[in-house]
Structure 1
Amino acid sequence: MSDEERRDSLADQAAAWIPPWERPTPPKPETEPATDPDLGTGAPLEGPDRTKIAAAGESAGEPEAIPSAVGPARVAEDAVGGDARPGEPEGEGGASGVPGKRGRRRPTPEPEPAPVLDDAELRGALEAILLVVDQPVSELTLAQVLEQSPERIGPMLDEIAAGYTAAGHGFELRRAAGGWRLYTRPEYATYVERFVLEGQSVRLTQAALETLAVIAYKQPVTRSRISAIRGVNCDGVIRTLVSRGLVEECGTEADSGAFLYRTTTMFLEKLGLNSVDDLPPLAPFLPDDVEELADATR
């Protein structure tokens, strides 16, 4: 081929060249051919043919073909056959122990019940606690600390108290202020007082003792009522009793709005009483002419 013919051929090729972005897109097939070897190639899975295929699969005991819209993750999950519910964590191997299989969450094991102490161990535990308490402790508190039934605590404390009394110890176990505490016996009070006080006793005055007695027997009572019974102003004495922790405020009177006072648990503890009902009656200590004295003061 001569040079002129080669140039003409290249010019024709250049004139006939079309850029890629201007070339027409070839049409795509509307349906994909079936790949099932039993159905042959080229058979579309649309329309009545698809219904026939599904019916044929169900009659033969085979599952219906998975649509192409379901991704490979769903296919893999169905193949594994997981039984975990939505929202449950999937552990390694699951609760069933089979690797790759989901399992339901195992129930949380319940805590083991506290061991039941025998009588000797329960007695020793109660004595150890009562030796360190600084105020009366209730039976319910002891039962909670020892993790034992409250029905066992009361009879065991009664048994311990009876044993101390029968053995003649210098201390005793008794109820006080709604609880239990160890106390020294009254017959050894002088020795204990000599050891504890050592000449530095701070006693209540006669006025404080009288005011405290009025509050104990008349509680709840107002200041004016206490002053009327004693015949003198007792505001300073009441402040002293409140600071010592023997008396406390317990509300106001409905008519006058004055503060009401009553004794505290420390008062019961100091006197060794379980409640104010255990106070001795006043009748034996009253003079025979008390009515005449009351009429004379009016």
Structure 2
Amino acid sequence: MSDEDRRDSLADQAAAWVPPWERPRPPATEPDNADVASDITAPSPATDDLAAHPPVQEPEPAALPGDLDRSNPDRDESDRDESDRTESDRGEPDPGEPVVGESSEAAGVPRRQAAGRRRVTAAPEPAPELSDTELRGALEAILLVVDEPVSELVLAQVLEQPAERVGPMLDEIAAGYTAAGHGFELRRAAGGWRLYTRPEYATYVERFVLDGQSVRLTQAALETLAVVAYKQPVTRSRISAIRGVNCDGVIRTLVTRGLVEECGTETDSGAFLYKTTTLFLEKLGLNTVDELPPLAPFLPDDVEELADATR
């Protein structure tokens, strides 16, 4: 056979070659061993053609980083550690660290540890309520040591009891002293409560306290004190105009005794204003200055004539 005939035969064989997956399946009959062996050993023309002209293989696409795990599940552990480190470098949150806005329990932080970070202040426990006997004794003990009238609000704050209980209890104590005929009484004065000796025993108290010493105010001091009590707040010039004499020395005496005190200045003239003190109300047994007796019954009948004469 010439070379041309051989090339023609090979070309015909290549054109007539059918891939194995497109070939019809052979019948289900079992071939003889001899036929099988002949099929294995005998080379086919198509095989010879493939050996002479192998098919060209296309290059496979490059594998992506995510396909490495799927294509090679048995990759080295070091490669996995490297990829894990790469993911952590991208700023992904660590499952062990709490995320902002996440509760401490959801983040895996124990409740006791999370509570220890917060400063918890327990609410103060309310004071136990005193019985009527205890409240009565506590009020009497405080009133024995006070040096000025004390209000119901202050007593309630000291005893940590509601003011609604303190007021009625003080009234009950005062009524009990009066009914028992004690030499002292509980009396409301100057906006508060204080123990006082009874007027019927004043003579004996004066003998013990004064011991022959006279502490009475002069007539000028009494007149000045009366002007301040009924005209307060009032200036020195106004007091002097009412009395008709200079009263600077008398004012200083009343301030020293604690019966009169300064209470600001007058807007127009800038002169000091004076008013009576709590001691003044206490000495007279008054609660407020509104309880002062009216002056009309004590004025003379010819007060208008006296006023015209002074003019």
> TM (normalized to structure 2)?
0.67
Deviations 1:47-90 (A, max 9, x none): xxx9xxxxxxxxxxxxxx9545649xx99x846x879989x9xx
Q: Which amino acid aligns with 1:287?
A: P
Deviations 1:116-140 (A, max 9, x none): 1111111111111000001111111
Structure 2 unaligned spans of 5+: 1-64
Once the 2 structures are TM-superposed, how far is the Cα of residue 95 of structure 1 from its aligned partner? 6.2
The structure-2 alpha-carbon separation of the partners of 1:43 and 1:187, relative to structure 1 and needing over 3 Å to count, comes to closer
**Equivalent of 2:162 in 139, 149, 158:** 149
Tell me whether 1:226 sits opposite 2:239 in the alignment: yes
CA distance in 2, matches of 1:195, 1:95: 76
Once the 2 structures are TM-superposed, how far is the Cα of residue 249 of structure 1 from its aligned partner? 1.4
Q: % of aligned pairs identical?
A: 75
| SS of residue in 2 equivalent to 1:103 | helix
The 5-angstrom pairing of residues 1-80 of structure 1 reads 39-41=73-75, 67=85, 70=88, 78=95
The 5-angstrom pairing of residues 119-130 of structure 1 reads 119-130=132-143
Structure 1 unaligned spans of 5+: 1-30, 51-64, 89-93
**Equivalent of 2:288 in 260, 266, 275:** 275
Residue 114 of structure 2: aligned partner: 103
Q: Which amino acid aligns with 2:310?
A: T
**Equivalent of 1:262 in 263, 275, 288:** 275
| SS of residue in 1 equivalent to 2:114 | coil
The structure-2 alpha-carbon separation of the partners of 1:190 and 1:44, relative to structure 1 and needing over 3 Å to count, comes to closer
| SS of residue in 1 equivalent to 2:185 | strand
Q: Which amino acid aligns with 2:247?
A: C
Once the 2 structures are TM-superposed, how far is the Cα of residue 187 of structure 1 from its aligned partner? 0.9
Q: Which amino acid aligns with 1:249?
A: E
Residue 153 of structure 2: aligned partner: 140
CA distance in 2, matches of 1:241, 1:95: 73
CA distance in 2, matches of 1:182, 1:271: 14
Instruction: Name the structure with the higher helix share.
Output: 2
The structure-2 alpha-carbon separation of the partners of 1:290 and 1:83, relative to structure 1 and needing over 3 Å to count, comes to same
The structure-2 alpha-carbon separation of the partners of 1:255 and 1:43, relative to structure 1 and needing over 3 Å to count, comes to closer
C-alpha contact (below 8 Å) 1:138/1:179 kept by paired residues: yes
CA distance in 2, matches of 1:43, 1:248: 94
CA distance in 1, matches of 2:95, 2:79: 23
Q: Which amino acid aligns with 2:114?
A: G
- What's the C-alpha RMSD, in Å, of the aligned pairs? 3.5
Residue 117 of structure 1: aligned partner: 130
| SS of residue in 2 equivalent to 1:162 | helix
Residue 219 of structure 2: aligned partner: 206
The structure-2 alpha-carbon separation of the partners of 1:252 and 1:42, relative to structure 1 and needing over 3 Å to count, comes to closer
Once the 2 structures are TM-superposed, how far is the Cα of residue 150 of structure 1 from its aligned partner? 1.1
Tell me whether 1:158 sits opposite 2:192 in the alignment: no
CA distance in 1, matches of 2:78, 2:277: 96
Deviations 1:193-226 (A, max 9, x none): 1101112233221111111111111111111221
Tell me whether 1:192 sits opposite 2:205 in the alignment: yes
> TM (normalized to structure 1)?
0.69
Once the 2 structures are TM-superposed, how far is the Cα of residue 258 of structure 1 from its aligned partner? 2.1
Rg bigger for which structure?
2
Once the 2 structures are TM-superposed, how far is the Cα of residue 250 of structure 1 from its aligned partner? 1.5
C-alpha contact (below 8 Å) 1:84/1:103 kept by paired residues: no
**Equivalent of 1:183 in 179, 183, 196:** 196
Once the 2 structures are TM-superposed, how far is the Cα of residue 245 of structure 1 from its aligned partner? 1.3
Residue 31 of structure 2: aligned partner: none
The structure-2 alpha-carbon separation of the partners of 1:95 and 1:115, relative to structure 1 and needing over 3 Å to count, comes to farther
Once the 2 structures are TM-superposed, how far is the Cα of residue 152 of structure 1 from its aligned partner? 1.1
Tell me whether 1:241 sits opposite 2:254 in the alignment: yes
